[in-house]
């Protein structure tokens, strides 16, 4: 899954993913931007979620939490398909 990392493109892709309103659209963004499935995306989303909670914006934090969980589930599925992990 590891590819060359362009921070500007990464942030643009993450913003696009965050703005999606359906799982199908989210999946398309993930397919087009596999860097969003990497650890640095999870870490960045965790930081943004913590910041939203610290500012008292629980609605945003919850929405981002759901998107992060979606990314994690897709990542898990891909790892299982690649045979890198097992239950």
- Which carries the bigger pLDDT value, residue 69 or residue 6? 69
Q: What is the mean pLDDT of residues 13-38?
A: 93
Q: Domain extents for the chain?
A: 30-78
Please say if the pLDDT value at position 80 is more than 50: yes
> Rounded CA gap, 82 and 63, in Å?
29
Q: Secondary structure of 22-45 in the HEC alphabet?
A: CHHHHHHHHHHCHHHHCHHHHHHH
> Rounded CA gap, 65 and 59, in Å?
10
> Rounded CA gap, 22 and 57, in Å?
22
pTM metric for this prediction: 0.82
Element housing 8 (H / E): helix 7-19
């Amino acid at each position: 899954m590891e590819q060359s990392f362009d921070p500007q493109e990464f942030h643009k892709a993450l913003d696009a993913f965050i703005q999606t309103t359906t799982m199908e659209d989210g999946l398309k963004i993930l397919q087009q931007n596999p860097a969003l499935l990497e650890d640095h995306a999870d870490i960045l989303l965790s930081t943004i979620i913590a910041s939203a909670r610290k500012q008292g914006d629980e609605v945003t934090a919850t929405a981002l939490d759901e998107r992060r969980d979606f990314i994690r589930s897709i990542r898990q599925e891909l790892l299982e398909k690649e045979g890198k992990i097992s239950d």
